[in-house]
Structure 1
């Protein structure tokens, strides 16, 4: 039994589910300069048609609404619509594509989950960038990208101990197709002290591909959690003050 999959090459149509073999790069220019790169795999799924792997592989891919937004939605689609409504935005009503990690072996962690929200005509009208940090808090940026997927928003969520909650994020988030090419830059006082990129290629989300990806990237979600924790410690220079973490309220109707 195989998972439903198709991807249309060379057109703006994106079929799901798909797996992306991905390379994630973080570059911090100050303080101090540090670059890290790691490989992983990401899912692209339709929130109305979530994949259900064969029973033996289900521990490797579960899409649980508890892992997103306030964690109280009956489904991921309902949780997203609830989040938009709480922010005063009417849900567009069309297809929603989500890019991120699935829950693996009971563990879930997504530093960044992206949702491309389409209207009923099939046009992307809104992108939701859901950010998690390792202390468990979550925040959503509601973006109105241009035709190239570019958007800018003020930074109002604490992520790194090296940067305060100020400045803004400049993002390029084109809808995934055969390839994946995402960029998020932090801008502060005319500088760009941090840039994150995600590059990847789509492959059929078959049971064999899922098993291969899970074996190649053992316990991918836990690995991401510990990698981010280590990055926050390893480059810490003596005498550099850490930025205090403000408490971030969850702004979502329950």
Structure 2
């Protein structure tokens, strides 16, 4: 597989108890963890892939940490391909609201998906999923993401492995309601020097901008009177050695 870049449109829709919606542009990388891009020195500040930015032991590789996470949770991996959709580190900054790992068996079939969610408090949580043939999966909400949403409810996710198009959706459900939806869509481009520079120029300092946009939306919700929920303690569950 050749590394690719998806120029993305990310939309958040809140329906309850206040209505709020916003959309922002960004871009994500889609890579094979066994063939991470080796960029020329002059492009490396625009795209870094580091184990410390994802699950597991920062001294190991991302691939080794994914394999260990699967094994600890009863999913012995057999060496098949693992692909990742994530933001890269740009000029020292990185923030991934969600990173997705598609874990395949040696025969090529999809065995499991890991959805790794980060919050702006420096915490992360990994959901081990077994999607259906269309990429659909469900999981109980176990991680505090927003100060305006507790840790109750469940997620309905659509996580098909991307091809020419990217279409990811996460819907929070509570007692028949759907108070929050996030979607990420985009078009695939090969990760050439030209496309890397074009993405970085279109959305400068993309990871830093994402954090600012999320915080700005939080300030506006707080100013509208949306109550803040206390953040519970989060116990790491990602097999750090």
Identify the TM-score tier after normalising by the shorter chain.
Answer: over 0.9
1:31 aligns with 2:17: yes
1:134 aligns with 2:113: no
**Alpha-carbon contact 2:78-2:105 (below 8 Å) kept:** yes
User: How far off is 1:220 after superposition?
Assistant: 0.6
Q: Unaligned 5+ residue runs, structure 1?
A: 1-14
Partner of 1:98: 84
Partner of 2:155: 169
Separation in 2 of the partners of 1:28 and 1:67?
A: 28
Specify whether residues 229 and 238 from structure 1 end up closer, same or farther in structure 2 by C-alpha distance, changes over 3 A only: closer
Out of 183, 187, 193, which is 1:197 matched to? 183
Partner of 1:19: 5
**1:6-64 CA-partner distances (Å, limit 9, x unpaired):** xxxxxxxxx33001111000000012100010111110000000001111010000100
SS of equivalent to 1:236: helix
User: How far off is 1:246 after superposition?
Assistant: 0.6
**Alpha-carbon contact 1:92-1:125 (below 8 Å) kept:** no
SS of equivalent to 1:99: strand
**Alpha-carbon contact 1:70-1:250 (below 8 Å) kept:** no
Total equivalences in the alignment: 240
Partner of 1:110: 96
**Alpha-carbon contact 2:163-2:188 (below 8 Å) kept:** yes
Separation in 2 of the partners of 1:240 and 1:101?
A: 30
Separation in 1 of the partners of 2:75 and 2:215?
A: 34
Specify whether residues 189 and 57 from structure 1 end up closer, same or farther in structure 2 by C-alpha distance, changes over 3 A only: same
User: How far off is 1:173 after superposition?
Assistant: 0.6
Q: Unaligned 5+ residue runs, structure 2?
A: none
**1:195-236 CA-partner distances (Å, limit 9, x unpaired):** 011110001110011011101111011111111111222122
Q: CA RMSD in A?
A: 1.2
SS of equivalent to 1:227: helix
Specify whether residues 92 and 227 from structure 1 end up closer, same or farther in structure 2 by C-alpha distance, changes over 3 A only: farther
Partner of 1:157: 143
Separation in 2 of the partners of 1:70 and 1:145?
A: 23
SS of equivalent to 2:13: strand
**Alpha-carbon contact 1:86-1:253 (below 8 Å) kept:** no
User: How far off is 1:73 after superposition?
Assistant: 4.2
TM value normalised by structure 2: 0.96
Structure 1 runs, 4 residues or longer, greater than 6 Å off? none
User: How far off is 1:70 after superposition?
Assistant: 3.5
TM value normalised by structure 1: 0.91
**1:167-197 CA-partner distances (Å, limit 9, x unpaired):** 1000011110000011100001110000011
